[in-house]
Amino acid sequence: MTEPPTEGRRSSALTRLVLTRVGLALLTLLLVSMLVFATVQLLPGDLGRTVLGPYATDEQVAALNDRVGEDDPAPVRYANWLSDFVRGDWGTSAALRQPVRPLVLDRLANSLLLALYALALAVPVGVALGMLAARRRGRALDAAVSTTSVSLLAMPEFVVGTILSILFAVELGWFPVSARVPDDVASFFHQLTLPATVLALVLFGSLTRVARAATLSALDAEYTRTATLKGLPTRTVLARHVLPNVLPPTVAAIGAHVGYLVGGIVVVETLFAYPGLGKLLLDSALAHDLAPLQACVLATAVVVMVANLAADVVASALNPRLRRAAS
C-alpha cells in the first residue's frame, strides 16, 4: 500500500517547483534581454541627433554618440549594458538627463498602483459573475454575462477609455480627464478610478470566462454530484467542492494578466496622461532613448516572471494534484 505524502514531501515538491520556475525565469530573462537589445537597434533615428536636435552639426552628433558608446560594436554594447544592469547601473536617460534606475522604479510603482486597483475591481466581480452565470447555465443571466464579457474583450482600451472619459470626466465632471499619482486616500479614488475601470473592464471579460468555464467543469464533476445527492446545502457544495476548483485557473489567469497591466497599458496611461511605466516606454521609444527603453522592457519582463511564479506557487498550494504532478 502506498504511503500518503507527508507535509515534508509536499514542501519538497513545492520547493522543486519554485526552483524550476526560477531557473526557467532567469533563462527567459536572458533571452528577453538579447531580444530587447537587438530590437531597439532597429528603431529608426539617431540618439545623438534626437538629443541635440536638427540644428546640431554632424561633428557634435558624432561626439555625443562616441561618448555614450553608440559607435561601439553591438556585442560590446550588449555585454556592457547587461553587466551594468545586473550591478544596478541602468544608465542615464539622454533625453531626460536623469538616472534611469530611479526613474523606471518610480514609474513601475505608479503602474503597479494602478494595476492593483484594477485587479481589486475586476477579480471579485469577474469571478462572482462567472460562477453565477455557470449556475444559471442556459438562462438569461448566463447569456447576458457571456455576451458582455465577449463584447468587452473585443473592444480596444482606447475606445472604452474614450467613452468613459467623455461620459464621466467631460459630461458629468466626476473624475479628471488626466490622472496623476495620488497624494492621499481621497485623491487615490478620484484620480485612479477612471483609468482603473478601463483596465478592469478589459480584465473582467477574460476573468469571467475563465471562472465560468472552471465552475461548469466543477459542477459537472462526479464529486459535486455526489455531494449534492447526499443532501448537502448548496452553499456548502459551492464552498467545499466548486470554489477550490475555480481558484487555481483563476489565479493562473490573474498571473498571466499582470504583465499586461504593468507594461501593456501604454494606451491607457497615454490616454489619461498617467506617469506610469507604459507611458515612459512609449516616450523613450519615440525619443530613441535606449537606456530607459531597455530598462522598461526588462522591468516588465521581471514583473511578468515574478507574477507567473507567484501564480504557479499559489495554484499548486490550492490544488494538491498539481503539487503531486510537479513532484
Residue 1, pLDDT score:
39
Mean pLDDT of the chain: 79
- The domains found in the chain, sorted by start residue, are 7-42+73-326 (1.10.3720.10)
Average pLDDT over residues 205-217: 85
Rounded to the nearest 10 degrees, how much is the dihedral formed by the CA atoms of 166, 167, 169, 174? Answer: 180
Query: Is 153 within 8 Å of 126 (Cβ atoms)?
Result: no
State percent of the chain over pLDDT 70. 82
* Model pTM above 0.75: yes
Residue 132, pLDDT score:
87
Average pLDDT over residues 172-196: 87
CA 126 to chain centre: 17
Residue with the bigger pLDDT between 38 and 46: it is 38
Tens digit of each residue's pLDDT (9 = 90 or more) over 78-114 = 888 788 888 888 888 877 888 889 999 999 999 888 9
User: Which residues have C-beta within 8 Å of that of residue 282, sequence separation ≥ 6?
Assistant: 266, 270
Query: Is 245 within 8 Å of 221 (Cβ atoms)?
Result: yes
**Would you call 92 helix, strand, or coil by DSSP?**
strand
Query: Is 218 within 8 Å of 246 (Cβ atoms)?
Result: yes
Instruction: Report in angstroms the alpha-carbon separations of 192 from 118, 124, 272, 276, 307.
Output: 9, 18, 10, 12, 22
Average pLDDT over residues 266-279: 87
Tens digit of each residue's pLDDT (9 = 90 or more) over 305-323 = 888 778 777 777 766 455 4
Query: Is 195 within 8 Å of 269 (Cβ atoms)?
Result: yes
Rounded Cα distance between 277 and 279, Å, is: 6
